[in-house]
Amino acid sequence: MAIAKAERLMNLALCLLGTRRPLTKRELRGSIEAYLEAAGTASGGNDDAFNRMFERDKDDLRELGLVIETVEGIDGEIGYLARRDSNRLPPITLDAEEAAALGLAAKVWQQARLAGAASGALQKLRAAGMPVAEEDPYDSQAHSALEPHIPVHEAAFEPLMLACRDRRPVVFDYRKANAARPEQRQVEPWALECWRGQWYLAGWDRERAAERVFRLSRICGRVRLRGGAYTAEVPDHVTVRETVERWSGETATATARIRLRSGHGYPLRAKALSTTPDGDGWDELEIPYGHGLDAWLVEFGPDVVVLAPDELRADVVDRLRAVAKG
């Protein structure tokens, strides 16, 4: 579901749940900004567009389980409300394993903005009597050793996360692996995803008029927000991980041979088809070869030497020369 529609449905649900009397469509239209923007100004707007949107939203909320009552005869208009006693959730019960899993999930985010939200959610559950366990700092067997972490080191993460949420176009400088200098990109951000310890942004590159995936660690400087609406439709499902896997050779059918310094390049070792000691502190590996493998190998610097095929070796050398010139 698109974020804009989800926010509109949430606002409508809050209005219907928060009122003490039924609200007419005219009152709801004047209270929810998205209806004003979609149907025109408050006076003289497009009534048909608003009516169609409102009816769809009302049906969607009912499909999600919200009980919406229709009341006739309010100044000659139909009114709507969602009584709280009719929409009250059943008591939430968690067993010990579920409570522990919830506690671990809340600790995944180390980024300050998200950590506060997760902490607040746990406090509300504790206040409701849920058995969300506190970790004992003196317990050497505490589950912190298994605590998951999603690292967020890039300064670009937070502004891009907010831009994805608010559907705001952005501008940033981006340096490709084989480029000496960064280039400015104008992007309509869709989604962020973490893959193998790296964050990636998927979105619509306006200048190239195509979908692109950007690695956050290659964004230089500040991410600048821009006004205006998106020019391209946001897909229902954004395949960030699948795209990165394809570019990094995860779906490759050919193979390459490389020399890798002993004790280095664990990600390469993890995907190796075979590993043979090569003497003098080096190993020879056979790895899958596909589009984007040259960019990945460059990141390992002097710890990797490409043996075959020749075209992969040439691509890696070209990329290293471009970086050296920068």
| pLDDT tens digits for range 153-185 | 788 998 998 899 889 999 999 988 666 789 999
Cα(125)–Cα(25) distance, rounded to whole angstroms? 35
**Which segments in the chain show pLDDT lower than 70?**
1-3, 38-46, 73-74, 89-92, 100-152, 177-179, 196, 245-253, 326
Amino acid at 130: M
Burial of 310 (0-12, 13-18, 19+ CB in 10 A): exposed
Query: At 68, is the secondary structure helix, strand, or coil?
Result: coil
Find out whether 203 and 187 touch, Cβ atoms under 8 Å. Answer: yes
Q: Is the peptide bond before 182 cis (omega within 30 degrees of 0)?
A: no
* Residue located via tokens 């095929």: 309
First to last CA, the chain: 43
For residue 161 the two structure tokens come to 């996360």
- What pLDDT is attached to residue 227? 87
Cα(19)–Cα(160) distance, rounded to whole angstroms? 35
DSSP-derived secondary structure for 159-228: HHHHHHHHT--EEEEE--TT-SS-EEEEEEEEEEEEETTEEEEEEEETTTTEEEEEEGGGEEEEEEE--S
- What pLDDT is attached to residue 159? 92
Secondary element (H or E) of residue 23: strand 23-24
Contact partners, residue 238, CB within 8 Å, separation at least 6: 190, 191, 202
Q: Give the 3-state DSSP-derived string for 226-293, with helices as H, strands as E and coil as C.
A: CCCCCCCCCCCCCCHHHHHHHHCCCCCCEEEEEEEECCCCHHHHHHCCEEEEEECCEEEEEEEECCCH
- What pLDDT is attached to residue 32? 84
- What pLDDT is attached to residue 248? 57
